[in-house]
Amino acid sequence: MSREVQVTFDCADPDALCRFWVEVLGYQQQPPPPGFATWDAFLESIDVPVALRNERSAAVPVEGTGPRLFFQRVPEGKTVKNRVHLDVRAAPGIEGAERMAVLEAEAERLVALGATRAARQEPGVDLSAGHIVMADPEGNEFCLD
């Protein structure tokens, strides 16, 4: 039996972090239920107070491939390194200097969106094809691979 995978992020600002990952992955924010133009309109219809409308958000693939990303507000901030992280495959099949140039360009784009750069792993070190370690706006580490 096959299973679907959802990746859940604990965070302080679900809407903002969702919008960041939508841009990173080319996803879209999950559309509101049928009959509603926006999530705000839906939440208002079920009497969710304005102060509680950013408790969760979700991003889904535009074409239906890839896991759903779910963002939920938690009271505590991130304090240690992730035990699981995402690898954003920005340069599959590309090698050497060309690969690193593609990854550098993507890293620059993501920094402009609010990511931070942590490290660069050169090709050939520890059998790596080369990658760049990044963090999203709330500090969750991910790799550009």
Lowest model confidence (mean pLDDT) among 17-31, 50-64, 114-128: 114-128
**Cα Rg of the chain (Å, integer):** 17
pLDDT tens by residue, 6-43: 999 999 999 999 999 999 999 999 999 999 999 999 99
Tell me the C-alpha distance between 68 and 64, whole Å: 9
Residue 140 has pLDDT above 90, yes or no: yes
Q: Are β-strands 68-73 and 56-61 bridged in parallel, bridged antiparallel, or unpaired?
A: antiparallel
pLDDT given for residue 126 in this prediction: 73
The per-residue pLDDT of the chain, averaged, comes to 94
SS3 of 98, please? Answer: helix
